[in-house]
Amino acid sequence: MKWLAMVAALYAGIASARADDVPGARLVTLARGVNILETFDNKKTIPAIVDDLKLIQHSGLRHIRIFVDKTRVDQPTAMERLDKTVDAAIDLKLGVILCMVGKDDFIDDPQMISDYTAAWTGLAQRYKDRNPDLLYPELVNEPAIRDTSQWVPIQEKLRQTVRGIMAQNTILLTASPTSTSWSLSAMPASADPNVVYVFHDYAPMVFTHQGADWGDDGFWTIHNLRYPPSPENVTDVSRKAMAKLRPDLDRYSKATNIVDRELGPAIAWAYLHKAHLMVTEFGVFRPAPADSRVQWFKDVRTALDRAGIGWTVWEYNAGFGIKSELATKSCVPLKQALGLCH
C-alpha cells in the first residue's frame, strides 16, 4: 500500500515539479501519437502514406514515430521516401520522432557505436533545418547494454553529436537495458535541459504478446488470456501454454495494480529529477480478447495522461495496429480507450 500511495502522490505532483525547459507546445505535440512502420516499404506508395498521415491527424493524434535503420542514411532512395513522409507530416502539423535502429540490438561494441554516431551525423545534418517544434531525434531504440554505467557515456556521445548539429530540437533519451521504466529509474539525468526521457510499456508481456508468432518466447502458445487477470481464466490458458511460461502466468494471475506498478519507477525518477517522460511504445497484439485489449489501453492511457506523460501507440498498421479503429467514423471502444472520442 505504501508503494501505491507514493505513485498516487507522484501522479498528482509530477507536472508541477518540472522546470520550464522543453517548450510547452512540444509537450502537447508529444502527448499522443502512433508508430508507423511502412515508410521504407516500397510496396506502399507515398500518396498512400500521406493518406494515412491525414487519418492519423484527423483522429486527434499529434505525432508519428518512425524507425530509421542506420544503414539507410546513405541510401538516396530510402532517404527520399523519408523526406516525403517527414515533410508531409510537418505540413499537417504532426510531430515526427525519428528513432535510430540497427539490424541487431544496440550493444557496447565500438564499431556499432561508430556506425550509430556516423548515422546520426548524417540524419541530423539532413533534418537540421526542419521546424524544431515538430522534429524529435530519438537516439536509440531499446539498447541492450545491461550495465547502466556503460550505457550512459555512449548515449551522451550520441546526444552531443546530435546537439552539435540540432541546437534547438528536443532530444529523446532512453535507458538500458531495453527502455523499461525500471531501467530508467537507475539512470542519472542528463545535463541537457531540452530532453525528454522515453520508456516502453508492454506489461505484462504474457497478456500483450499473446499469440505472437516470432521469437522464441513461446507467446504463440497463449490464447484468450484476459485482462484484468482472472485466476480461473489463467488456469485454463496455462494448460495449453508452453511450460516455461507458466511461472509468468502464475504471477499474472495474482497481480494487482499492474499499470501503476509498471509506471511507478519512471514516475518516481522523473519527479526526483524534474524530468519530462513519454512512452514511445505501448500496445497489445490483436489476437488478444478485444474487450481485454481495450481495457488495457484504457488503463494505461488514463494513467499516462494523469501523470502528464506523452505516449505513442504501438502501432498503426501491423499486428498490433489500430488503423481499422481510427478509420471507423463512429466512436468505437478502442478510440474511446485512447481518449480520441467520447
In a domain, 129, yes or no: yes
CATH number at residue 180: 3.20.20.80
Q: Which residues of 257-284 are buried (b: 16+ CB within 10 A; e: fewer)?
A: ebbbebbbbbbbbbbebebbbbbbbbbb
In a domain, 50, yes or no: yes
Which 3-state string (H, E, C) describes 157-208?
HHHHHHHCCCCCCCEEEECCCCCCHHHHCCCCCCCCCCEEEEEEECCCHHHH
Q: Report the candidate in 205, 100, 228 with the shortest Cα–Cα distance to residue 155.
A: 100
Whole domain around residue 109: which residue ranges?
2-204+255-337
**Other beta carbons within 10 Å of 168:** 12
| H-type alpha helices, the chain | 2-13, 24-29, 46-59, 76-91, 110-127, 148-163, 181-184, 205-208, 231-240, 246-254, 258-273, 290-306, 323-327, 333-337
Q: Are 230 and 249 in contact (CB under 8 A)?
A: no
Helix (H, G, I), strand (E, B) or coil at 103: coil
- Mean pLDDT (whole number) for 288-292: 98
Q: How far is CA 59 from CA 64, 79, 82, 242, 341, in A?
A: 12, 27, 22, 39, 9
pLDDT digits (tens, 9 = 90+) for 294-305: 999 999 999 999
How many domains does one find in the chain? 1
Tell me which residue has cell 551525423.
121
Altogether, the residues listed in the chain come to a count of 342
Pull the grid cell for residue 55: 487519418
Q: Which pLDDT value is given to residue 17?
A: 47
Tell me which residue has cell 504501438.
314
In a domain, 20, yes or no: yes
pLDDT beyond 70 at 12: no
Q: Which pLDDT value is given to residue 105?
A: 79
Q: Are 90 and 57 in contact (CB under 8 A)?
A: no
pLDDT digits (tens, 9 = 90+) for 120-141: 999 999 999 999 999 999 999 9
- Mean pLDDT (whole number) for 231-251: 97
pLDDT digits (tens, 9 = 90+) for 244-282: 999 999 999 999 999 999 999 999 999 999 999 999 999
Residue 310 parent element (H or E): strand 310-313
In a domain, 162, yes or no: yes
pLDDT digits (tens, 9 = 90+) for 171-191: 999 999 999 999 998 999 999
**Other beta carbons within 10 Å of 75:** 13
pTM: 0.95
In a domain, 216, yes or no: no
In a domain, 226, yes or no: no
Name the residue type at position 193.
Answer: P
In a domain, 236, yes or no: no
In a domain, 235, yes or no: no
99, exposed or middle or buried, with CB in 10 Å at 0-12, 13-18, 19+? buried
Q: Are 69 and 101 in contact (CB under 8 A)?
A: yes
pLDDT digits (tens, 9 = 90+) for 41-91: 999 999 999 999 999 999 999 999 999 999 999 999 999 999 999 999 999
pLDDT digits (tens, 9 = 90+) for 99-120: 999 877 788 889 999 999 999 9
State percent of the chain over pLDDT 70. 94
- CA-CA-CA-CA dihedral for 7, 8, 13, 15, to nearest 10: 80
Q: Which pLDDT value is given to residue 14?
A: 52
